[in-house]
A and B are shown apart, each in its own frame.
Chain A
């Protein structure tokens, strides 16, 4: 069976722990990157990685590399400060890629 990981600041991941997901509280970009690498190295173990939007900014390259693989799915979620619109822009990027121009 596969697992779901949540990567984010302590306040973000706290609630998900109660849902039974595996949470990884991190502070700062470096720690997030190290943790993210660890999560993706055991590739088949985590099928979904939810990651907080403001961390994803720093990890953009790592996340983009996983885009074309069937697993894991890296999904951006808003942090406690509200949505930054990054998830929406990821959606638009995919559309742009498919259509060949922004619509």
Chain B
């Protein structure tokens, strides 16, 4: 690997050892983070599936009822009936922190909260099917809001998981092996240097002895 880049000195070796320690600890932490995120994510996905099928079914029913209402009433009448909404939806937004991911939490208030009084028109000129359609729509609406919250949380968590997964993989398969490789290289190089110094010293000693005493093995 990229062994050519490192200088085989004791200082670099110590630095590398420190970095390896940090990387290993970071890897463990990130892995734990990923696992916990995944667990939360799975819960959210399950909830999302449930809500989505409920919302889709509810909306399909509401639209069907609306179509019937549209067939019975004239388009002008229908438009007029729905022109001025009785209630107004106010949406509050706060954030919840799931594993350092800020996910939105919506809460909604309707002005004019009177369950029986969602119809913005008099009953005289409209058909019963329209009432039916609006009632269904109103029912499915709280699920729709929760769906929005859950789906956004899911997207944000997915992004965070992807990021964490990449970091874990980069540490596990690139950074840590590379550092280990470098440490091994430096250790070997240092040992080699030691050995050659020792051999050189022995040789010098021999030569010195030879000169001093005319000594031979």
Give A residues with C-beta under 8 Å from B: 1-4, 11-12, 14-21, 47-48, 50, 67-68, 70-71, 73, 75, 77-80, 82-83, 87-88, 90-91, 94-95, 97-100
Pairs across A and B, CB under 8 Å, 28 listed: A1-B91, A2-B90, A2-B92, A4-B108, A11-B63, A14-B78, A17-B82, A20-B85, A20-B88, A20-B111, A47-B91, A47-B106, A48-B91, A70-B103, A70-B104, A70-B156, A75-B151, A78-B56, A78-B60, A80-B66, A80-B67, A87-B56, A91-B48, A91-B154, A94-B45, A97-B158, A98-B162, A98-B165
Give B residues with C-beta under 8 Å from A: 38, 41, 45, 48-49, 52, 55-56, 59-60, 62-63, 66-67, 70, 78-79, 82-83, 85-93, 95, 102-104, 106, 108, 110-111, 118-120, 133-134, 137-138, 141, 144-145, 147-149, 151-152, 154-159, 161-162, 165
Residue from B83, B85, B103 in contact with A19 in the complex, judged by beta carbons closer than 8 Å: B85
Task: Collect the chain B residues with CB atoms within 8 Å of residue A75's CB.
Answer: 144, 147-148, 151
Give the Cβ gap from B36 to chain A, nearest Cβ, in Å. Answer: 13
Task: Collect the chain A residues with CB atoms within 8 Å of residue B108's CB.
Answer: 4
Among B111, B138, B151, B156: residue with most chain A CB under 10 A: B151
Give the Cβ gap from A40 to chain B, nearest Cβ, in Å. Answer: 14
Task: Collect the chain B residues with CB atoms within 8 Å of residue A20's CB.
Answer: 85-89, 110-111
Q: Are A70 and B90 in contact (CB under 8 A)?
A: no
Name the residue of chain B whose CB is nearest to the CB of A14: B82
Task: Collect the chain B residues with CB atoms within 8 Å of residue A50's CB.
Answer: 144, 148
Residue from A3, A15, A83, A94 in contact with B133 in the complex, judged by beta carbons closer than 8 Å: A15
Q: Are B52 and A87 in contact (CB under 8 A)?
A: yes
Given A20-B86, A77-B55, A98-B41, A70 contacting B49 (CB threshold 8 A) = no
Residue from B78, B89, B148, B161 in contact with A98 in the complex, judged by beta carbons closer than 8 Å: B161
Identify whether the interface residues of A are mostly helix, strand, loop, or mixed: mixed
Give the Cβ gap from A16 to chain B, nearest Cβ, in Å. Answer: 7
Task: Collect the chain A residues with CB atoms within 8 Å of residue B59's CB.
Answer: 77-78
Given A18-B85, A98-B158, A91 contacting B49 (CB threshold 8 A) = yes
Name the residue of chain A whose CB is nearest to the CB of B134: A18
How many angstroms between the C-alpha atoms of A1 and B49 in the bound complex?
A: 29
Name the residue of chain B whose CB is nearest to the CB of A1: B90
Q: Are A73 and B134 in contact (CB under 8 A)?
A: no
Name the residue of chain A whose CB is nearest to the CB of B147: A75
How many angstroms between the C-alpha atoms of A71 and B95 in the bound complex?
A: 11
Give the Cβ gap from B150 to chain A, nearest Cβ, in Å. Answer: 9
Task: Collect the chain A residues with CB atoms within 8 Å of residue B38's CB.
Answer: 98-99
Among A2, A18, A78, A97: residue with most chain B CB under 10 A: A18
How many angstroms between the C-alpha atoms of A20 and B38 in the bound complex?
A: 37
Q: Are A100 and B165 in contact (CB under 8 A)?
A: yes
